[in-house]
Structure 1
Amino acid sequence: MSVGVAIIGSGLFAKEQHLPAVQAAPGFTLKAIYSRSLNSAQSLAEGTANVDLYSEDSGAGKSFDDLLARSDIGAVIIALPILVQPDFIKRALLSGKHVLSEKPIAKDVATAKELLQWYQANIDASKVFWAVGENFRYMSKYIYAAEQVQKLGQVRNFRVDVQNFVKPDNKYFLTPWRKVPEYQGGFLLDGGVHMIAGLRLILGSAQQIKTVSAQSYLQQSYLPPVDTVDAVVKTRSGATGVISLSWGSPFNRHSFEFACEKGSVALNFDDVAVNDVKYSVPFDGRGVSAEVAEFATSIINGKAVEKRQSPEEALADLEVLEQMLQSGEKQGEPVQLHLQV
């Protein structure tokens, strides 16, 4: 069995990840592409066959609603700018299409909660599925690190240190909606939510983050409103941790370190050290292919989406990051988390 699917959005991630993931998924057949302009839809469709194009400037019969009216399309993958996604998600779900939308779930927790409550009140979730993509939960190195941490007992202390430098000519920075962000955190929201997802995956549900206190700063004037945040956090079990994230830093770091009851685990880029013994985890992609394939399998089997792509998981990621940003705005005022799962 194969489900007809449409890709909504034609940005960099759709080109580099979603399109090849759909083409590789045995449970999906690409039927259509929608973008705001026909030119961008054509750019994404280049090299594909038997794919219909829809856009706001394609004339009658080629709008998003026309795409949703097609009976041969059972699902959509939505990868649009953060601010416009909720409207497209609602319209797709109301039409009976299964939805996989890109992270973050929404621009802020309030919008995300409203969207989730709307879904629960207006859509039969047993028949029409909504998943939120977070490819870090499917990447081998994070999964391997999580497995090793779980073997070593309760986490006592941890540190996340991710430092990046987004230059003015960065391909993602040149995306207009990212260049002048109308949402909290700028790159810290768009990129930082990945890091929170990776951390939460490794900690596991038994080590939910409970409190956050943070400071934030803008290192690069072209990356407003802030590009750096440093937080001290504590889990419900009492473990303490430090989360340091920056997209305006001159350093290049990507490390997740965990001190556990029976030893330590350190993830540095693609290497995982368990009790100081290094294991290189072969890079097998950014997780999007596995994520899309799992979404297709849920639809075919008629079963709810897996927890790791549920809206509740995405909301929990967003809550951690938002509270870090809000604590930073309040000069480190401690905040409590309430939406962790």
Structure 2
Amino acid sequence: MSSGIAILGAGIFAKEAHLPSLAALGHAAPVLKAVYSRSEKSAHDLADAAAIALRLTPPAVYHDGDKSTDLDALLARSDIDAVIVVLPITLQPSVILKALAAGKHVLSEKPVAPDVAQGLGLIQTYNTTYKAKGLIWRVAENFEAEPGFRAAAAAIASGKIGKVIFFRTVVCNYIDKDSKWYKTPWRTVPDYQGGFLLDGGVHTIAALRIMLPHRLTHLSGFASLNKDYLEPHDTINAIVRAGDNFHGTAELTWASPTKSRPVTDGFVITGTDGWLSVNQVTIEGANDPVLRITVKSVIKAEGKGEVEKEEIIEEPVQGVKAELASFFDAIAGKDALNIGEPLEALRDVAFIQAALNSNGSVVDLAELAPSAL
């Protein structure tokens, strides 16, 4: 890309994830030329942080309240080819369409939309109006891009645990009112389904989508609220099926009573010849946490019958960097990773939406999020 990019949204994730990832990409990333926020102060704060992180002249600041510096003015700039949208969930759909209409490539933070209906509408509009024009729209789902989850998928695909027969995922998060994630106003009083379950739960479903060899097709579950300040829901328990291939369980909560995580936290995928687990761990002296994949395989050893073989794979957590690199490569027409497809991201939303509304009934996920649009 010969021109530049802009970040739309100046919250925590823009500062703490996107800026460091752009810095890590170095010259492989386009120049950040502008930032936008609804608030002038937050836009200036992001611009100042970008100048430090990226070692450049502060990008131009855009904000609401003045036509000369609002979002339309930013999108009118011919030297900005693409935008990274990091705005509250309910604001993103309209901004995505506005950016595409202005001829910009778009990378929008997950989830793809607040619900399946809005997601379907967005994808249909993109496919019929903007895709043929060569515009790229990707959804930034960093778990989908994580090298660790992709390494786990490769291990399963290569047959190291045999044929998958069942799986389990447990996500146990603690959120109190002092959490930096809770203190953002749009999370404190969410105007979208599921609260943290939608905002964070799609990560877990994206990881399953990457690792499992077959698409999840049916779900039956229950949702509940256990801490009033995390309304409308904070916990999901679901039984899931992948056609006639295998089944599993998904337990997601943001209502843990303790900061410490149970030892069961993470992913376990079991096959006919072994099992595989994925857990995030912190290694002393390392800058970033790693995803540790443990593969236990049953093999036949001459004279010993069946024995267990263990393999440990560790990959640094770097999903945001990977998803940004993939997006820039897609614009250049050379993307090998090919992640962030909006329809795949829609299936993650469909899972959460189904679990929130199932109340024990079986939901057909393929019917909720059609394969073809």
The reply on whether 1:159 has 2:168 as its aligned counterpart is yes
The reply on whether 1:260 has 2:271 as its aligned counterpart is yes
The reply on whether 1:279 has 2:299 as its aligned counterpart is no
Give the structure with higher Rg (CA).
Answer: 2
Tell me if structure 2 keeps the 8 A contact 1:213–1:324: yes
For the residues of structure 1 that align with 2:186 and 2:58, how far apart are their CA atoms? 31
Q: Which runs of 5+ in 1 are unaligned?
A: none
Between the two proteins, the alignment pairs up a number of residues equal to 333
Residue 16 of structure 2: aligned partner: 16
For the residues of structure 1 that align with 2:130 and 2:352, how far apart are their CA atoms? 28
For the residues of structure 2 that align with 1:183 and 1:166, how far apart are their CA atoms? 18
The secondary structure found in structure 1 opposite 2:69 is coil
The reply on whether 1:310 has 2:344 as its aligned counterpart is no
The secondary structure found in structure 1 opposite 2:99 is helix
Letter in 2 for 1:258: I
Tell me if structure 2 keeps the 8 A contact 1:130–1:305: no
For the residues of structure 2 that align with 1:66 and 1:180, how far apart are their CA atoms? 30
1:9–1:320 CA distance, 2 compared to 1 (3 A): same
> Which of 199, 208, 220 lines up with 2:208 in the alignment?
199
Deviates more, 1:273-282 or 1:173-182: 273-282
Supply the RMSD in Å over aligned alpha carbons.
Answer: 1.8
The secondary structure found in structure 2 opposite 1:264 is strand
4+ runs deviating over 6 angstroms: none
TM-score (norm 2): 0.85
Tell me if structure 1 keeps the 8 A contact 2:323–2:339: no
For the residues of structure 1 that align with 2:158 and 2:194, how far apart are their CA atoms? 35
Deviation string, structure 1 residues 114-142 (Cα, Å, up to 9, x no partner): 11111112214451111000001122221
Residue 30 of structure 1: aligned partner: 32
Deviation string, structure 1 residues 42-94 (Cα, Å, up to 9, x no partner): 1111151141100013x341110010111000000000000010110000000
> Which of 53, 56, 66 lines up with 2:64 in the alignment?
56
Tell me if structure 1 keeps the 8 A contact 2:109–2:140: yes
Residue 85 of structure 1: aligned partner: 92
Letter in 1 for 2:321: S
> For 1:233-272, what aligned pairs fall within 5 Å after superposition?
233-250=240-257, 252-253=261-262, 254-269=265-280, 270-272=291-293
- CA drift of 1:280 comes to 5.2
TM-score (norm 1): 0.93
For the residues of structure 2 that align with 1:286 and 1:170, how far apart are their CA atoms? 23
Deviation string, structure 1 residues 87-107 (Cα, Å, up to 9, x no partner): 100000001000000000000
> Which of 116, 130, 136 lines up with 1:123 in the alignment?
130
- CA drift of 1:168 comes to 1.1
Residue 297 of structure 1: aligned partner: 329
The reply on whether 1:4 has 2:13 as its aligned counterpart is no
Letter in 1 for 2:325: A
1:124–1:161 CA distance, 2 compared to 1 (3 A): closer
Residue 178 of structure 1: aligned partner: 187
> For 1:64-79, what aligned pairs fall within 5 Å after superposition?
64-79=71-86
For the residues of structure 2 that align with 1:304 and 1:105, how far apart are their CA atoms? 20
1:221–1:278 CA distance, 2 compared to 1 (3 A): farther
Q: Identity, % of aligned pairs?
A: 41
The reply on whether 1:335 has 2:363 as its aligned counterpart is yes
Deviation string, structure 1 residues 20-44 (Cα, Å, up to 9, x no partner): 2233431411110000011001111
For the residues of structure 2 that align with 1:21 and 1:103, how far apart are their CA atoms? 17
Letter in 2 for 1:160: T
Q: Which runs of 5+ in 2 are unaligned?
A: 52-56, 281-290, 297-308
- CA drift of 1:145 comes to 1.5
